[in-house]
Structure 1
């Protein structure tokens, strides 16, 4: 709990502590104020539907190559030394502009530790669905977590990451259903942003999820809808129908809600900060309850340890028999 208190103030360390944040689920009642295009959603103060909406903030795996999430690169990529420019003294990724790793211009595509990615994604899905169920959520609205810029398009792994994400969600919904008492449906809100006027088919997240659920002949007891629509419209429509509904927020590992909302919404989390009351309920400087340890709950998954990052990275990536420091990356 002490770690969570620090992390939710944006004080998690690079590497191992940032890695832990993907196994943290934050849930708050969070009315939606407007559409993603900033059109106000009219309502009366005595209406109950806004109070049926739960905002679920979860961190995804970060393959974009950033200093704070260096743990993801070291843990999930087997050939990161060949993919990224390396500091000659530390033998670790070199940081440019204070934040980013750069892929070598003539370097190979990334190679995933698929079992590690699959295992982590599976645990992440289980944790957030069980947390939603514990909060009484009846209909879950999911989005693509870590499937945009963080999926690793620049190192050639994004298609594999999207496919693994779809596979793990489908598997959990099919096999972990006995854990849920309240969830009765799941909706995957996956807007199709890619448009092509040519005959070339542009693959996107929507296609990956449709392919996974159709080819595997999904037959789980929880109905699943995959829809080309934004999650705000879906969530509001469901809440108006009287259901308790959750909406997924792709948070980052710094732990501060809507960290870059001042930039007028460059990404989904920042859009949520500007169109919901998320800043009022999940930002530690505004809502003091964010740092109240009595609000933290631990969920057991009856599986092995999920926080073995240091041991695994030490065994697989450290050629000099030295411990990997949290402050492991040099600046350029």
Structure 2
């Protein structure tokens, strides 16, 4: 790890805005219950159910278990996409109101929370990329302060031989390229750490935002949107 040196007289740290970010969580744990029952239309056929409540049964105080034999998981893709677009729109609107010039985004909920064990992770990553591209394409001109968007999407996936496998980075690159993105806000998609990018951008004198690493959920790597108890997207 590298310690970043700075003095109290430095202004660049004051240019960084930390954004709390909502997401959808399909990891299959107790706090995911609203996401699972909202976005998976056949969840009753996929998970073990509690006989007394009719809801997914909780094992070991936290986890939902899949039935040994269950049909393919069916997503309410329209609802997932609509909510993902609302999340993108809310984040960008908050940043714009705070006069952020460069927004550093990352792949919220696109790792373990995307539902790999459910067989829907590839679909979720593609929907997330579509939501980001669509909002920027159609509504980018409404943001008056944002000058650029940077997607920090480190590449992690490799096979046993060390060969790189398709990752979130590829889904976003493919989405923006295949649809000939021509929004008013320039977009950069990079295989890079968001903190490194944010510090570098701030040192160039730009007001920049990034995911809040000190968020009460961020500490544990958990970002979700529950319909009864939800994390608001805000700027700190």
TM over 0.5: yes
Residue 202 of structure 1 deviates from its aligned partner by 1.5
1:258 paired with 2:216, answer yes
Q: Which residue of 2 aligns with 1:163?
A: 126
RMSD of aligned C-alpha atoms? Answer: 2.3
Alpha-carbon distance between aligned partners in 1 of 2:46 and 2:163, rounded to the nearest angstrom = 29
Whole-Å Cα distance in 2 between the matches of residues 170 and 250 of structure 1? 24
Please state if 1:58 is matched with 2:21. Answer: yes
Q: For each residue in 1:296-324, what CA deviation from the matched residue of structure 2 results, as whole angstroms up to 9, or x when unmatched?
A: xxxxxxxxxxx9x69xxxxxxxxxxxxxx
Residue 67 (structure 1) shift: 1.7
Post-superposition shift, 1:105? 2.5
> Which residue number corresponds to residue 108 of structure 1?
71
Tell whether 2:90 aligns with 1:127.
yes
1:1-332 residue pairs with structure 2 within 5 A? Answer: 37=1, 39-196=2-159, 198=161, 202-249=165-212, 257-259=215-217, 261=219, 267=221
Aligned-residue offset at 1:107? 2.0
SS of the counterpart of 2:58? strand
Look at both structures and tell me which one has the larger radius of gyration over its CA atoms.
1
Shift of 1:83: 1.2
Alignment length (residue pairs): 227
Separation in 2, partners of 1:267, 1:56: 14
Once the 2 structures are TM-superposed, how far is the Cα of residue 200 of structure 1 from its aligned partner? Answer: 6.6
Tell me the TM-score normalized by structure 2. 0.89
Q: Following the alignment from structure 1 to structure 2, what is the Cα–Cα distance between the partners of residues 223 and 101?
A: 41
**Residues of 2 paired with 1:250 and 1:118: CA distance?**
26
Query: Contact conserved, 2:212 with 2:218, CA < 8 A, in 1?
Result: no
Normalised to the residue count of structure 1, the TM-score between the two structures is 0.64
Q: 1:242: Cα distance to partner?
A: 0.3
Cα deviation code 1:59-82 (max 9, x no counterpart)? 210111222231111110011111
Runs of 4+, deviation exceeding 4 Å:
197-201
Unpaired runs of at least 5, structure 2: 230-236
CA-to-aligned-CA distance 1:193-222 (integer Å, 9 cap, x gap): 112364976221001101101111111111
Structure possessing the higher relative contact order (Cα contacts under 8 Å, 6 or more residues apart): 2
Gaps of 5+ in 1: 1-36, 252-256, 270-306, 311-325, 327-332
